[in-house]
Amino acid sequence: MAKKEKRFEVVYKEGSQLGLEGVRMILVDLLTGVNYLAVANGCGGYAITPLLDANGRITITTLG
The pLDDT tens digits along the chain (64 residues) read 567 889 999 999 998 766 667 899 999 999 999 999 999 887 778 999 999 999 999 999 998 7
Q: What is the pLDDT of residue 37?
A: 96
**Residue 3 contacts by C-beta under 8 Å, 6 or more apart in sequence?**
none
3-state helix, strand, coil in the chain (%, to 5): 0, 50, 50
Q: What is the pLDDT of residue 41?
A: 81
Note if the pTM is more than 0.85. Answer: no
**Residue 31 contacts by C-beta under 8 Å, 6 or more apart in sequence?**
7
Q: What is the pLDDT of residue 59?
A: 96
- CA–CA separation, 43 and 21 (whole Å): 10
Q: What is the pLDDT of residue 1?
A: 58
